[in-house]
Structure 1
Amino acid sequence: MSTCAVAEAIFTELHAGGRDLRLECQWIESDRSGAPLLVFLHEGLGSAAMWKDWPQRVCEAAGCRGLVYSRYGYGQSTPLPPGEKRPVDFMHHEANEVLPALLRALDVDATQDKPVLFGHSDGASIALLYAAMHPDAVAGVVAAAPHILVEEVSVASIAQARQAYLETDLRARLGRYHADPDSAFWGWNDIWLDPAFRRWNLDEYLSRIACPVLAIQGVDDEYGTLAQIRGIRRLAPQTELLEIPDCGHSAHKDQPARVIQAIAGFVGSLEQPR
C-alpha cells in the first residue's frame, strides 16, 4: 500500500483567458521540502479523482511532491457553460494561460521550482505545449500517449466513444467523477470530431522544446499510432521513447509497474547533468 500523504481536495480561484475559474486541486507530499514537483495532467475525459492512487504511487517511487488538478470543464472544477464548444486551440490556451495561472495561484514560482509534467493523452499534448511556450519554467516532460497530430484511428475511436455515451451507461459512469459529465464529454468529443480540428498539429511547437522528454506509448494504443511519439523525437531529438507491447492507450493502467519505473528513472536523471 502507498504511504504517500495525500491532502484533501482544495479549490483554487484564478483568472485566465478572460474568465474566472475554480479548479479542483490536490497536493501530494507538499511538505517534502526540496523534492521535485511532479504535475499531473489528465486525459480528455479524466479528472483528479480518475487518477485514483496513480499519482501517489508515482510520487512515492520517484521521491516527488505532486500536484493533481482537474482542468476547466472536468471533475469538480468549473464546468463549460451549456452549449459552449471548445476552440481548436484549446490545448494551447491550457498550456499558455491556465496552467501558468494555476501555478501562480498556488504560489509555485515555476522558474525556480521547475516542475516535471506528466501528461496523459490530451494532457500530454498540453504538457508538450507548455514546455515549448515556457521553456524556463519546466524541468522535464513525461508524455504518455500524446497527440501531436490527428490520425484517422483517433477520430474513429472518438466517434465510437460518442455512440457509447449516447447508447450505454457511459454518462452515468463519468458522473461518478465529474460534477457535470456532459461538460466533460461533449467538451472533449465535439472538438475532436469537428472537421476544423483535422488540421490541428504541434509541429511548429515541438522543435522549441529544450527540456528532456520521455514519450511513452502502448503499441496497441487505440487512439493513436506510434507515429505520435516518434514524431516528437523527430522534432525534439532529446526525446527518449518507451514503446510498450501488450499495452493500449492508458499505459499507466495497462502496464503500471513499467511506467512507474520509467518515470522514477527519468525524474532521477534530471537531478544529474544530462
Structure 2
Amino acid sequence: MSPSFVSIAWAGRPVRIEHAFVGVDDARAPLVVFLHEGLGSLAMWKDFPQQLCAAAGLRGLVYSRPGYGRSTPRAPEERWLQDFMHRQAFEVLPALLQALHITQPYALFGHSDGGSISLLHAARFGAQVSRAIVLAPHILVEDLSVASIEQARSAYEQGGLKSGLAKYHDDPDSAFWGWNGIWLDPAFRAWDIQAEIGSIRCPLLAVQGLDDVYGTLEQIRGIQRRVPHTRLLELAQCGHSPHRDQPAALIEAAKAFFSTPGSHGDTP
C-alpha cells in the first residue's frame, strides 16, 4: 500500500494521519474501514485488506491512528487515559472521514483494540455504519490479557520487539508505551464497554482464535449476549491475529457476511 496523508485537528493540535485506499478503485463502491490492533499500523496489515477487498468487491480505507505508523507520534508527555479507545471511536475516526469527504455508509473491520473501537463507533454512529467485523475484540479486561501485555513489556525492554516494531512505526516508543502504559495501569482493570455496545443494530461478525493469548472466547460470546444478532466465528489453530493465522477462512467468512442482505447500508 502506498500511503497518503491528511491532517485533522485533534487533542488541540493538527495531527497527520497516514492512510491508503485499496481494493475497488471507485469512490461509489461499498466502503470498509480497517482499524488496526494496539501495536499495529497501516503497514502491519500487509496485503490482507487488498486481498479481502478484491475477494468481496469492496473499496477499503486503511489508516494508522495517531501515535502509530507514519501518523503524528504521541507527544512524549502525553499519557493515554481509560477513554483512549472511546476518543478514537468518537473523535478521530469521524474527523478522518470528514477530512476525506466520506459521506456514504461504511463498514468496519477492526482487530483487537481496533475491534473495540469499531464496536464503540458502531454503537454511537449506527446510521452511518452498515455492518462490522471485529477480530479478537476486547469488551472487558481479563487476567489473560494483562499477563500477556506484561510479557510484551519485557519483550520490548529486553528482547527484539522494539526493533521489530521499528519497521512499521516512525516512533516505536510512541506506539508501544501509549498502548502498554494504559493497559497495565491498575485503574484500567475497571474498563468495560459491555453496556455501551448494546445499542449496536448493524449486522455484526465477531471472530476469535481458540489459541488467542490476549483474550478468551468470553470476549465475543459476551458481545453476542449484548448484541444477540451477532454472528460468531471461533477459529481453531488461530491466535490473536486471525487475518495472519487463518486468512483464507477469514476471507471466506467475511465475503459471505458482506454479501448477505443488509450489507453496505442496504435494507435487510
Task: Mark yes or no: TM-score above 0.5.
Answer: yes
Give the equivalent residue in structure 2 for 1:211. Answer: 202
Give the equivalent residue in structure 2 for 1:233. Answer: 224
Give the equivalent residue in structure 1 for 2:19. Answer: 25
CA distance in 2, matches of 1:101, 1:77: 14
CA distance in 2, matches of 1:30, 1:76: 24
Q: 1:221 aligns with which of 188, 212, 229?
A: 212
CA distance in 1, matches of 2:101, 2:24: 12
8 A Cα contact 1:219 1:243, kept in partner:
yes
8 A Cα contact 2:32 2:60, kept in partner:
yes
Q: 2:152 aligns with which of 144, 161, 164?
A: 161
Give the equivalent residue in structure 2 for 1:173. Answer: 164
CA distance in 1, matches of 2:126, 2:10: 20
Q: Which ranges of structure 2 fall in alignment gaps of 5 or more residues?
A: none
SS at structure 1 position matched to 2:199: coil
Q: Which ranges of structure 1 fall in alignment gaps of 5 or more residues?
A: 1-5
Give the equivalent residue in structure 1 for 2:34. Answer: 40
SS at structure 2 position matched to 1:203: coil
Q: 2:74 aligns with which of 80, 97, 109?
A: 80
Q: 1:260 aligns with which of 227, 251, 262?
A: 251
CA distance in 2, matches of 1:146, 1:258: 18
Superposed displacement of residue 41, structure 1: 0.2
8 A Cα contact 1:142 1:214, kept in partner:
yes
Give the equivalent residue in structure 2 for 1:3. Answer: none
Give the equivalent residue in structure 1 for 2:62. Answer: 68
Structure 1 residue runs of 4 or more that deviate by more than 6 Å after TM superposition: none
Of all paired residues, the percent bearing the same amino acid is: 56
CA distance in 1, matches of 2:13, 2:210: 40
8 A Cα contact 1:120 1:144, kept in partner:
yes
What is the TM-score of this pair, normalised by structure 2? 0.96
Give the equivalent residue in structure 1 for 2:89. Answer: 95
CA distance in 2, matches of 1:94, 1:163: 27
Superposed displacement of residue 85, structure 1: 1.2
CA distance in 2, matches of 1:29, 1:224: 30
Deviating more after overlay: 21-30 vs 69-78:
21-30
CA distance in 2, matches of 1:229, 1:31: 33
The alignment covers a number of residue pairs equal to: 265
What is the TM-score of this pair, normalised by structure 1? 0.94
